[in-house]
Chains A and B, each alone.
Chain A
Amino acid sequence: MSKTRILEEGKGELIGWHDPDENREYVLKHKSRELKDKRMSAQEVVSSFIKDGDFIASGGFGHVRVSMVLIYEIIRQKKRNLAMAGKTAVHDIDILIGSGCVDRVEVAYCFGHELRGLSPAGRRAVESGRCKVVAETSNAGYQWRFLAGMMGLPFIPSRNLLGTDTLKRSSAKVIEDPWSGKPICLIPAAYPDVAMIHVHRCDIYGNAQIDGIIIEDFELARAARKLIITTEEIIDHERVRAEPWRTTIPFYVVDAVVEMPYGSHPCQMPYRYFFDEEHIGEWLKMSKSDEGAKEYFDKYVFGVKDFEEYLELVGGIKTMNRLRRVEQLREPMTAPWLKKGE
């Protein structure tokens, strides 16, 4: 039998990959099929699940439905040398890089804040070498790394990345498709050590429901070795069973459940609250210097005992109600970065 000829090979570092059999062993050993109460506090879950050097991935879309409650706790517990999936990573990764927790990233989209512009903290870190880009890919490229992971496959074939420098700096390879004879890209599986996904509701076992777009959380949840669900609310298990089609993430892939209303603040939670642009704007302004970023963390992370205290500090229920009105289009958004010259 002829050996597969590799036509091209990316130079990027392959992170989070495991032999599928090795991962099956992990699943058999560590993923329980028992319905058990998985509720924990953010503090407990971060200290027992996330260790220095881990490869982590955040659900949602960078600043939409992200688990800020866990991200602030990671900063508070001063986790170090984390690698993170830049699978459209926006505010989540910006403050994790800015606080010195994340120092390696595989980039589909990173160091930017979409319409708000570029991230001062993230860019400073990457341009000075404090944060290293280990590989490049695209959004579909990352998404399909998780797809291969959840399918228990070593890779998934695709027709993106081909012909570009993105491929040359990725961890993908190109071979000849044995059917069509055309070059085909092979995207390696990714199994993050820890994924953190914020959802609208789940039961105490982790059966989770997401309102609106799922983004890539369906695949990420099933590919991750450890999965922490944070939720706006805990619902009765009977509600899950009454409407089972609403379950996007089933309990057997979930390792812990943390209940935290407004747990995505200052990021958006679809249908519930809009981005707190005043707060994100404050971060973007303060993070223009290392001193400013430190001041931000001293005030909003180290200056409070937990996420609930942080929510009070940013205006409590009054702020949350305003963000709900903006989300529901009953009030226009405001943002300091909208003003000229800012």
Chain B
Amino acid sequence: MAREIKYTEPELLACTAARILENKKSVFVGTGLPMIAAMLAQKTHAPELLIVFEAGGLGPQMPVLPISVGDSRTFHRAVAASSMHDVMSVSQGGYIDFGFLGAAQLDPYGNINTTVIGPYEQHKTRLPGSGGANDVGSFSQRTIIIMRQDKRKFVEKVDFITTPGYLTGPGAREAAGLPKNTGPYRVITQLGVYGFHPETKRMMLLSLHHGVTLEEAKANASFEFGVADRIEVTEPPSEKDIRILHEEIDPVGIVLKK
């Protein structure tokens, strides 16, 4: 039997997310774990992954993890140092294969909240808002969401739809005027990976991480999600992945605390 590899939750999330990205495709990445996952994919199975940043960084080969989606690491060895107008326009035009976002709350249709917790007028917590998330979730062919799941984050109805998922269900995106054939594709959490049912557009569990049970996943969601006919076990991070994450991507421990 292979030796058990120890890994932390952020390492697991980053590796799982990285594996979903495909070589020779484009990915529009938000701040934090999405940046790490895209960098890891580029350094492993997807060397020609075209990474795109909202502030204008196009196709960089990042030397270390950026602090901001607009800092100079995001256009290090890039093919272009461009502008937000350029990036957002081509995204709207259809050039983005994957969008990559985080979320504070998520509902079963993949609608994302990053604006307020509680009612809008008397909110309990003010979060930073959309940033580029609404744009990424509107324009990308396939949006991937990476977040921690628990009963307060996986909710039947988000307090505020910052970024569109499938809205109220099948056909709702198109009816609202959003680009055709776009929408959430995967949700990656500390417990497993979810997709969306092709007809109902509701979330369904595709795989559980090593050692996680279906009951655990259900206990950490306030809504019912579908389950694939056969639940896979997520491929765990490899020693090589973990080495790259710590030595090449985040050596000072900005996200992957030491």
**A contact set with B: CB distance below 8 Å:** 60-64, 86, 88, 90, 107-112, 114-116, 118, 123, 126-127, 133, 136-141, 143-144, 147, 158-166, 169, 174, 177, 182-185, 212-219, 268, 270-271, 275, 277, 327, 329, 332-335, 338, 340
B134: min CB distance to chain A, Å: 4
* Interfacial chain A residues near B161, Cβ < 8 Å: 163-166
Complex Cα spacing A216 to B55, Å? 8
A335 — which chain B residues lie within 8 A by C-beta? 252
B residues 124-174 near A (Cβ < 8 Å) are: 125-135, 138-139, 160-164, 167, 172-173
Tell me the minimal C-beta distance from B64 to chain A in angstroms. 7
A116 to B71, CA, bound (A): 13
Point out the residues of chain B lying under 8 angstroms from A271, CB to CB. Answer: 72
Known A138-B134, A183-B176; judge A115-B115 contact (CB<8 A).
no
Main secondary structure of the interface of B (DSSP, over half): loop
Q: Which of A161, A169, A177 contacts B120 (CB 8 A)?
A: A169
- Please, how many angstroms separate the alpha-carbon atoms of A77 and B161 in the complex? 39
Interface Cβ pair total, 8 Å cutoff: 202
Check A332–B131 contact: CB distance below 8 A. Answer: no
Interchain CA distance A225-B252 in the complex, whole Å: 43
A162:B176 contact, CB within 8 angstroms: yes
Contact residues in B for A138 (Cβ distance below 8 Å)? 130-135
A217 to B92, CA, bound (A): 20
When distances are taken between beta carbons in the complex, the residues of chain A under 8 Å from B82 are 213-214
B54 within 8 A of A: yes
* Chain B, 9-65, CB within 8 A of any chain A CB: 31-32, 54-57, 63-65
- Is the beta-carbon distance between B83 and A140 smaller than 8 angstroms? no
B252 touches A163 (CB 8 A): no
Q: A214 contacts B72, CB within 8 Å?
A: no
Distance, CA A172 to CA B64, complexed state (A)? 38
Q: Are B92 and A159 in contact (CB under 8 A)?
A: yes
Closest 7 CB pairs of A and B: A61-B70, A183-B177, A163-B176, A213-B56, A112-B128, A109-B131, A138-B134
